[in-house]
Structure 1
Amino acid sequence: MSAGCTPGEPQGQRARTEQARLTLVLHTPAGGARYLATRLDSAPHLEVMGCIAGNDVTLVVCRSWDGARRVLRYVHGEADADR
């Protein structure tokens, strides 16, 4: 688990991440999960099959191991996430 800033979110909005194979559980501050799910769903280069968002948790199913790593890099704000 680690924390990072989601691109486009106001400073201080952090996501804690957990991974189980190709499924990611992203913990956000209250009210941030829908925003994060929308960002991930609208980024085709991330290989996201789909997201389910609650109030503070987003469940992400990825198409591949590389896709899961790409999503994690994206969530943590790493510049090479779009490659």
Structure 2
Amino acid sequence: MNAGVPTTRTARLSIVESIILHHVIESQQQLADLLADEGIQVTQATLSRDLDDLKASKVRTPSGTFAYAVPQGAQYAQSADSLVPGPRPARMATKAEQQLSKVIGGLITKVIAAQNLVIIHTPAGAAQYVASAIDKQPIADVAGTIAGDDTVMVIASDNQAAQKKRDWLLEMASNAR
């Protein structure tokens, strides 16, 4: 199993969700194989229950095949850092980005890059909601977020990535509808 990932049901659900968000998963066997690559062995019955718990469903991809998708705002956050993002259905990525844009457009008041950190200011009480919305996105070069009451700290892989994420967040917030 990945270093830093506990062997709990919640952690497994988080990894299943992350795999579905990062890859086009057309079958439970394909999902089971990717979980095995992460060091997680599951039975078909367990995997079926996990997909039900995540409210995963199959949606048509732009290529016409069907792949699993999880609803935006599912209760389990992503945590499988070692996953390499693969091709995802464009329609799902666009919807997720639009939803993130709406969240941050209405709640971000200021964004600053400081070394490899991006500091986001929000109205009081909104930081955890913004952090959760960011954490649910497969964003390259972002390790995760930490939220207080009105401030979110986004941890980027390096200083340059932090500057790019700051610019990206500001652009998304400015273009929110």
Structure 2 counterpart of 1:53, one-letter code = A
Classify 1:67/1:39 alpha carbon distance in 2 versus 1 (closer, same or farther; 3 Å).
Answer: farther
* 2:111–2:170 Cα contact (<8 Å) kept: no
- Superposed CA RMSD in Å reads 2.3
Pick from 124, 127, 131 the counterpart of residue 30 of structure 1: 124
* 2:143–2:157 Cα contact (<8 Å) kept: yes
Distance in 1 of aligned mates of 2:123 and 2:103 = 11
Structure 1 segments, 4+ long, off by >6 Å, are none
> What runs of 5+ residues in structure 1 fail to find an aligned partner?
1-5, 79-83
Residue 75, structure 1, aligned to residue 161, structure 2:
no
In structure 2, the residue matched to 1:44 is: 138
Identity percentage of aligned residues = 27
- TM-score, normalised via structure 1 length: 0.67
1:36 offset after TM fit, Å? Answer: 1.3
Paired residues for 1:6-17 under 5 Å: 7-9=101-103, 12-17=106-111
- Comparing both structures, which one devotes a greater share of its residues to strand? 1
Count matched residues.
73
* 1:40–1:46 Cα contact (<8 Å) kept: no
- TM-score, normalised via structure 2 length: 0.36
Pick from 138, 152, 157 the counterpart of residue 58 of structure 1: 152
Larger Cα-atom Rg: 2
* 1:33–1:58 Cα contact (<8 Å) kept: yes
By relative contact order (CA 8 Å, sep 6+), the higher-ranking structure is 1
Structure 1 counterpart of 2:133, one-letter code = R
1:12 offset after TM fit, Å? Answer: 4.4
> What runs of 5+ residues in structure 2 fail to find an aligned partner?
1-99, 173-177
- Comparing both structures, which one devotes a greater share of its residues to helix? 2
Distance in 2 of aligned mates of 1:12 and 1:48 = 22
Distance in 2 of aligned mates of 1:74 and 1:55 = 23
